[in-house]
Amino acid sequence: MAGKKRGGSSFTAASNNKRELDSIFLFTTGKCNQKCAMCFYADDMAKKEEDLSFAQIEKLSQTAGNFNKLWLSGGEPTLREDLPEIIETFYKNNHIKDLAMPSNGMKPDRLVEWLKRLRTNCPDLNITISISFDGFGKTHDTQRGVESFYRAAEALKKIDDNFRDDGKIIKGIATVITKYNENEIPDFMTWVFGRFNVYTHTIEAARGMTREDGVKICTEESLNKLQDEVAPFLPLYAKRIGESTNFIGRGIAKYFYVGFIRSMYNIRKQNIEKPSCWGMDCTAGETTLVIDYDGRFRACELRDPIGKVQDYDCDVQKIMHGDAMKKEVEEIGHGYKANCWCTHGCWIIASIVQNPAQMFAKLNRANREVKKLARPINISEDLLHSMEQKYGLDTAKLKEIGVL
């Protein structure tokens, strides 16, 4: 499968469709092998309810109809032993075009094995594999609650080694901003860009009720400053994404990548301290469905559950057209009634593509802003080596993994 180009993305489909179910967010398991300080799902996992069975998830798939994107969550998705079968079920039954698969990278060999299987059994599926990587060495380990920095680095390296030329595998990193890593993020992004062949590196604001009090430290001012400081990386990642295309393709990749990420960042900073209208409809509950690991469902990850799939015989159509979801959508009122405008990037991006008139205005503005913030990025070997010394990284381990 190496060398196959990415194509048929859900963006094109979503932007051309009426508002109907476009994305399912499936919390595959309530189990996790980390204890992240900023986890917004810790209280839910602490209930230790039973995960939905494969049969129940299969019924959800059989009744959902066609939709574009499956977003996995958890818990840690790789702890669900039948995860490949679940993904293959949605690919077969629902013709999903895109899969968002986050992982903490604790099981690098399993990730590679499963990605190889999916590339064989789901050949047209675009897979974005995003590894959680929060800072240098001890910072990452402190934030994640377990020693895992070098495992995450190993996962990134092994995924690249196996899928470097495969356009259907988009390799990414997600870094959550907390009190532990805020001051080292610019250095960390520089080091990551120089040492790892990934196509995207997003910085996320901690959201919801976190496991540890006081880890959410971002203000609108501090987040704006940080986002401006790392803005020059956006065109660099866009260039990597567009490397296998022609001149026009590279230009399109840059416009949309820079535009979407910066637009999401703009909306997020305006909502970090208090709700602030997005300037477009939120489509939670219309185009999105969240299913918790134990069967509770929601319109959005950050709103309360409104029912259990078991009470609807695991029928997605009954759920989406049921009284509970209708009432929830009415109460949200495209965001305006609920005034629950949030910082959640997944919902911001999902809503942007459903508001085409506002979308291009936001993307144009975002590209202009990033152009003004452009500056050369030093990723010399001397600088990268100095960072490894400054932050006390074990270069012997990095060499063993193949990063150095």
pLDDT tens track for 354-381: 999 899 999 999 999 999 999 999 999 9
Residue type, 179: K
Q: Considering the entire predicted model, what is its pTM?
A: 0.93
The kind and range of the H/E element at 202 are strand 200-205
The pLDDT tens digits of the residues spanning 147-172 come to: 999 999 999 999 999 999 999 999 99
- Which range is most confident: 202-216, 240-254, 297-311? 297-311
Note the pLDDT of residue 16.
47
In terms of C-beta density within 10 A (0-12 exposed, 13-18 middle, 19 or more buried), how is residue 9 classed?
A: middle
- The answer on pLDDT for 306 being more than 80 is yes
Q: Taking the CA of residue 371 as centre, how many other CA atoms within 13 Å lie in the half-sphere pointing to its CB?
A: 9
User: How many whole angstroms from its chain centre is CA 250?
Assistant: 23
Residue type, 371: K
The kind and range of the H/E element at 153 are helix 149-163
Cα–Cα distance, 238 to 200 (Å, whole number): 8
Considering only 40-44, 56-60, 261-265, which range has the smallest mean pLDDT?
40-44
The pLDDT tens digits of the residues spanning 14-51 come to: 444 578 999 999 999 999 999 999 999 989 999 899 99
Note the pLDDT of residue 2.
44
Average pLDDT, integer, range 133-147: 98
φ/ψ of residue 204, rounded to 5? -115, 140
Cα–Cα distance, 50 to 293 (Å, whole number): 8
First to last CA, the chain: 27
3-state helix, strand, coil in the chain (%, to 5): 50, 10, 40
Cα distances (Å, whole numbers) of residue 90 to 23, 124, 130:
12, 13, 20
In this structure, are strands 288-291 and 200-205 parallel, antiparallel, or unpaired?
unpaired
In terms of C-beta density within 10 A (0-12 exposed, 13-18 middle, 19 or more buried), how is residue 58 classed?
A: middle
Neighbours of 355 (CB within 10 A): 20
